[in-house]
Structure 1
């Protein structure tokens, strides 16, 4: 078993500060991938074309400026505008008002971030029977909600109760306590993909 402490200590020294939890998870994932451990991901899962298209459709790559670069924007459904978002739905401590990226930066961040969501879903599903379309729908759901670890639909899926799991998508339509039309439509598309054989 690799002792990760020296790695984390060195990076902490380079940064001149401690880590936030997202950074710990990402650094752990990078170490796992370099060792061929794939962060505990079960099986050879990859996001399929249908999942990528679904996520990119709903996340969009909005707020394109006249110079063809993209600027960050506040969450349209939250009371305080947080989290600030850019590109294909990217959020994090490095994204705040005034952040500007090129298309290449938006694409690269999506490619980097989606790995963690794929691994999270694979880890939570374990060895449960799962089709590619179910997996893609669950990655889209997790990318938007971050809730694959706590959602009832994950538990139902692991139990093979797919019809009940599909119905759970429709419960995740709220932002700041308000139902959102965009979330209703996205959850409906995720549920439809989940049910497609």
Structure 2
């Protein structure tokens, strides 16, 4: 099965949620980060300052495993749902996504039940973050954008 890719709408959602930061910073989960939420791994050679183009390239690289995973597990999703889940899994990680009620409801074919789960993922280190509340609402809206 070929790997599907996140559409421009999905990429825009991730970019607006992550916000471009050209220099290193610690995210709310206390991980050293740069660009559009790229977590800098130990030993990874990343300059102190990057351009928006470099940040987009890192984001696309970071999205690749998510896209491969979603393509394999949910091959028939509408693009809007694929994009919403790509943003979600990019943010929380594939492992957390796979253990989530959102995942199990979607696997069971319960699209509306899955959509209702986005709002549960709004905390970092036990604190509700307004940015995550906004992001999850946007992901849910995108997820449901073709559901009428």
**3-state secondary structure, aligned to 1:58:** helix
The separation in 2 between residues aligned to 1:89 and 1:139, in whole angstroms, is 14
Q: How does 1:32-181 map to 2 (within 5 A)?
A: 42-62=1-21, 70-75=22-27, 77-78=28-29, 82-94=30-42, 100-103=48-51, 104-125=53-74, 127=75, 129-146=76-93, 147-181=96-130
1:105 Cα offset (Å) = 2.5
1:95 Cα offset (Å) = 8.0
The separation in 2 between residues aligned to 1:94 and 1:88, in whole angstroms, is 18
Q: 1:95 and 1:183, CA in 2 relative to 1: closer, same or farther beyond 3 A?
A: farther
1:58 Cα offset (Å) = 0.7
TM-score (norm. length: structure 2): 0.86
**Which shifted more, 42-51 or 147-156?**
42-51
Q: 1:108 and 1:95, CA in 2 relative to 1: closer, same or farther beyond 3 A?
A: farther
TM-score (norm. length: structure 1): 0.66
**3-state secondary structure, aligned to 2:39:** coil
Structure with greater proportional strand content? 2
Runs of at least 4 residues of structure 1 off by over 3 A? Answer: none
Contact 1:138 1:190 in 2 (8 A): yes
Contact 1:124 1:149 in 2 (8 A): no
1:102 Cα offset (Å) = 2.3
Q: 1:90 and 1:158, CA in 2 relative to 1: closer, same or farther beyond 3 A?
A: same
Q: Work out which structure has the larger RCO, using CA pairs closer than 8 Å and 6 or more positions apart in sequence.
A: 2
The separation in 1 between residues aligned to 2:114 and 2:33, in whole angstroms, is 29
The CA RMSD over aligned residues, in Å, is 2.0
Larger Rg, first or second structure (1 or 2): 1
Q: Which runs of 5 or more structure 1 residues have no equivalent in the other structure?
A: 1-41, 63-69
Pairs aligned (count): 142
